[in-house]
Structure 1
Amino acid sequence: MDRSTVSGAVREVRPLLAARGLAIPDRPGLWLRTLEDLFAYADAEGVRLRIDGTEVQVRRPHAGRSGRKAFVSGKKRQNTIKTTTVSDGQGRTLFSGVVRPGRVHDQTAVRTEGIAEQFRHRPKVKAQVDEGYRGLANEFPNQVSAPSKKPSEVAPLGEHHAWREQRRRQSSARICVEHTNAEYKQWRPLQRFTGRRETYAETHLAITGLVSDRSARRATRRKPSTEPVLARQATC
C-alpha cells in the first residue's frame, strides 16, 4: 500500500475520532465533548476533578514568520503546544483540550475557555490543581484546592513541616491526572509532534478519545458481574 493512501485514510478518520468525544465508564453511549458537558457530569455524579496542563514539543516555525515566539515555552525553553487535561480520582480522562501555543499560561488558557463561568454556574463542583492555577483557587477558595504558598525563611520549623505534609497530600491526590498525561505520551505523535501544527489539535483529541475508550472498556471488564449469582439463586 502506498504511503499517500495511508495518509489519506488518516486525514479522513482523524477528524471523526476527534469529534467523537471522551467515553465515560459505566455510562454506555455517554460522551463528554465540552466544558459544559464536563461540569454537568461532575455536578450530577459528585466527581472531584483533577486539572493539569501538559505540553508537547513541535517544529519550530520558519524564520521571519509572524508569531514565531508564541510557541516558545517558558518552562521547557522549546517550541511546544499546550493542552489541559481533566480527570477523576481514578485517572480516567473527562476532558482534554484547550489547545494553545506553548507561551500561553495554563490559567490564562482555561479562563479564556470559560472555566471560571462554569465554576460559578456549578458551585458544588470541586477541583484540585497545581500552583499554575493559584489564581483560580484564590477566586474560588471553596471549590478549587491548590498547594499553599511556601512559608518564609523566618517562619517556625513546624510551619515548614506542615507545608511539606500538605504538599505531599496534595500531590498524592493529583498524581492520577499526571498518570493520565503520561499515558498520552506513550503514543508516538504526542512524544514529539513532527506534523503540521495546524493538525495537532485533531491528533491530540483523537488519541485522547481512543485512550478514554480503552479505559472505559477496561473498567467495564473489571466490574464484577452479578449474573452467576442470580443464576445460582434461581437454581436454589
Structure 2
Amino acid sequence: MIIKKRRITGLTGDVIAELVVETGSLWHERHQAKLAYRPRKRAMGGGPKHQLVFVDRLPTTLVHLRHGATHDVLACWFSVDRSTITRAIGEVRPLPAERSCTVSSDVRLRTLAEVVEHLGSSGTTGIIDGTEIRVRRPAVGRKDRDRFISGKNKQNAVKSMVVTDGVGRLLWRSPTQPASCADITHARQLGLVTLLADGPVLEILADAGYQGLGAQTGGRVVTPPHRKFKKNAPDWYEEMHERQRKAHCSRRIRVEHGIAHLKNWRALARHLGRREHMSDTVQAIAGLLSHQRAADLHSTRQT
C-alpha cells in the first residue's frame, strides 16, 4: 500500500521500482563488504536475519524524508524496534544522495562543473539562489555555536545553494554550510566564479545577494540593477529601476518554485535530527525530486 501512494512517499510506484533495482544492489554490496571487513566468528550468512528487508527500508526512508515521521512512529508502523529504523535510514539515505539530480534518463549532474557544462552545451539559462533550513541550536560551550545563526532570519539554520534551469527544473544542490555564510561567499567557496570565468559562455540569473559576481565572471552572472540614487531619486529613475527589477524577478522566480517543491518534503522544512546528516538529506531529496520530475515529463511526452 505504501509504495502505491504517491502522497505518502512523494514518488510514484514506477520511480520507487527503479530505485529498488538501482540502489538495492549497491546497498547489498556495501552490507556484504562491512560483514567481510571485520573478523567473524560465524560463517557468512549465519546469525539473525534482517527484520526489515531493503524493499521496506527504502519506503521507510522515503516516508521519513517526505513527512518528517519520527523513528518511533515508523517502528510501530513496520513492527520493528526503533534502533532498526534508525540504522535503516542511516544506511539508505546516502544512496539517493549519491545519485544526484536527474535531467533525463541518460543525463545526471553530480557536480557543479557538470552543471555549468550542461548549461553551456544546451544553451539554456541557469538560475541560482540560496535557501536556509532551520536546525537545532548547538549545545552550550560549542566553539562554533554562533556560526549557525542566520543574519537574515536571526535563527539557527544551515544554507544550501540551489541551481535550476530557466523552467525551474532542479539541476544541482550543494552540501550545506552554516547559515552565517553569505550567499556570495558560499558561491565562491563552491568554485562557481572559477568555473564560469574559465567555462562556456552562458547566462545565470541571481538575486541581489550575488551582486559582484557579474564582474568576476565576465557578465555571466546577471543580478538586479544597482540603485544609483539612494536619496531624492527622480521619478523617471524610480519607474525605470522598478521596471528593470520586476523584469529580472519574473525571470528568476522559477528557482523559488523549485525551492518550494523541495521544502514540501518535511525534512527540509525544519530539520530536527543531527546536523552532520543534513547534507545527505538535502542531496537525497533533490535527487529523488528531480528523478520524479524527469519521469513525469517523460510520461507526459509519451501521452
TM norm structure 1: 0.91
Task: Summarize deviations over 1:99-151 as a string: whole Å, max 9, x none.
Answer: 20010011111101110111112241210000000011232353111001224
Check whether the contact 1:148–1:167 (CA below 8 A) recurs between aligned residues. Answer: yes
**Change in CA separation of 1:17 and 1:224 when aligned onto 2, cut-off 3 Å:** closer
Q: Tell me what 2:45 maps to.
A: none
Q: 1:112 aligns with which of 179, 189, 200?
A: 189
Q: Tell me what 1:82 maps to.
A: 159
What SS does the corresponding residue of 1:206 show, helix, strand or coil? helix
Number of residue pairs matched by the alignment: 223
Check whether the contact 1:98–1:109 (CA below 8 A) recurs between aligned residues. Answer: no
Q: Tell me what 1:177 maps to.
A: 255
For 1:220 and 1:120, the matched residues in 2 are separated by: 34
For 1:117 and 1:195, the matched residues in 2 are separated by: 34
Task: Summarize deviations over 1:67-100 as a string: whole Å, max 9, x none.
Answer: 1000000001000000000001111101101420
Given the alignment of the two structures, is residue 167 of structure 1 paired with residue 245 of structure 2, yes or no? yes
For 1:141 and 1:29, the matched residues in 2 are separated by: 31
Structure 1 residues 24-35: aligned runs within 5 Å? 24=103, 27-35=104-112
Structure 1 residues 1-236: aligned runs within 5 Å? 1-24=80-103, 27-140=104-217, 142-152=219-229, 153-224=231-302
For 1:156 and 1:165, the matched residues in 2 are separated by: 14
Check whether the contact 1:51–1:84 (CA below 8 A) recurs between aligned residues. Answer: yes
Q: What letter matches 2:86 in structure 1?
A: S
Return 5+ residue gaps in structure 2 as ranges. Answer: 1-79
For 1:47 and 1:129, the matched residues in 2 are separated by: 15
CA drift at 1:66:
1.0
Larger Rg: 2
Check whether the contact 2:197–2:218 (CA below 8 A) recurs between aligned residues. Answer: no
Check whether the contact 2:175–2:282 (CA below 8 A) recurs between aligned residues. Answer: no
Q: Tell me what 1:233 maps to.
A: none
For 1:135 and 1:106, the matched residues in 2 are separated by: 11
- The answer to which structure, 1 or 2, has the higher relative contact order (CA under 8 A, 6+ apart) is 1
For 1:3 and 1:123, the matched residues in 2 are separated by: 50
Q: What letter matches 2:273 in structure 1?
A: G
Q: What letter matches 1:158 in structure 2?
A: W
Task: Summarize deviations over 1:180-236 as a string: whole Å, max 9, x none.
Answer: 1111111111111000000000011001111111111111122155xxxxxxxxxxx
Q: What letter matches 1:39 in structure 2?
A: V
Check whether the contact 1:72–1:78 (CA below 8 A) recurs between aligned residues. Answer: yes
Q: Percent identity?
A: 37
For 1:158 and 1:32, the matched residues in 2 are separated by: 45
What SS does the corresponding residue of 2:290 show, helix, strand or coil? helix
For 2:116 and 2:181, the matched residues in 1 are separated by: 24
